[in-house]
Amino acid sequence: MMDKEVNIARAIASLDTSLFRYIESQTTDDDKYSLLAVQRAVRQKAEYVYLEIGSHLGGTLQPHLLDPRCTTIYSIDPRPLIVDDERGEKQKYFDNSTERMMRLLSAVAPDQVQKIRTIDKAAPEIDPQTIDPRADLCFIDGEHTNTAAIADFEFCIKVLAPDGAIIFHDSDLVYKGIRQLLARLRKSDTKHFPLKLGGSVFAIAFGGSPLASATYIRSISKSIHYHFLRSAVRLRLNRHKIKRKLKKRSS
């Protein structure tokens, strides 16, 4: 192995978040730590394919771009300038373009950018047959509404390689969608392992995914998934209660 490859392998193995240093990402340090733990598990395969829904500047693509074991990257993003989220807020993405992202990524690893395939569409508009090779790891970080998270997951399932994994960012916003998806998977008897990781990362590993057996993944798993999903519900209820109390007081 060349020195560069050894250094990248070491950085991923030690969950070194400086791998995200070149391009700004919409993630916290805890998120980055979790994302690297997932990458460390997935790269146990000699080669893997990464698919991302919602890339903006390419911040979360960086560690996969740098990783020589990642042979293909799909970046799916219809590039809207304003996006809804589950809080009812409008997120603005200035100068949100594939050209800008590719310029930034080209400066990070000019010898690796050819492995990126960009698709300027929302996932449900894409023919799953065009995703060849299939993805070993899908990351959902597009529109943060339950409806979009479910639609993105449904697309990912169609293009996922056997023993693949799907991860969500901002799981605290789309937990209701995740809960629905987990209920469906249980009902259809699909072998899966839900994992709540640090930050707002939530993973669902399928079949014999290396994520399901990685002990360090379990060790950074903040709480068992159903505790997260339940406490998220409780949090919501509390918020409603507080709002009601405040309303009563002001009336």
Ligand X SMILES: C[S@@+](CC[C@H](N)C(=O)[O-])C[C@H]1O[C@@H](n2cnc3c(N)ncnc32)[C@H](O)[C@@H]1O
| Chain positions contacting ligand X, by CB under 6 A | 25-27, 53-57, 59-60, 76-80, 83, 93, 96, 122-123, 141-143, 148
By beta-carbon proximity to ligand X, the closer residue of 40 and 56 is 56
Contacts of residue 138, Cβ cutoff 8 Å, sequence gap at least 6: 51, 52, 53, 156, 159, 160, 164, 165, 166, 167
The SS3 of residue 61 is helix
By beta-carbon proximity to ligand X, the closer residue of 15 and 207 is 15
Rounded to a whole number of angstroms, the minimum distance from the CB of residue 10 to ligand X is: 23
By beta-carbon proximity to ligand X, the closer residue of 59 and 199 is 59
Helices (H) and strands (E) in the chain, counts: 9, 9
The dihedral sign for the CA sequence 147, 149, 154, 155 = positive
Rounded to a whole number of angstroms, the minimum distance from the CB of residue 83 to ligand X is: 4
Residue with tokens 């079949």, as numbered in its chain: 207
Cis peptide before 68 (omega within 30 of 0): no
DSSP at 88: S
By beta-carbon proximity to ligand X, the closer residue of 75 and 209 is 75
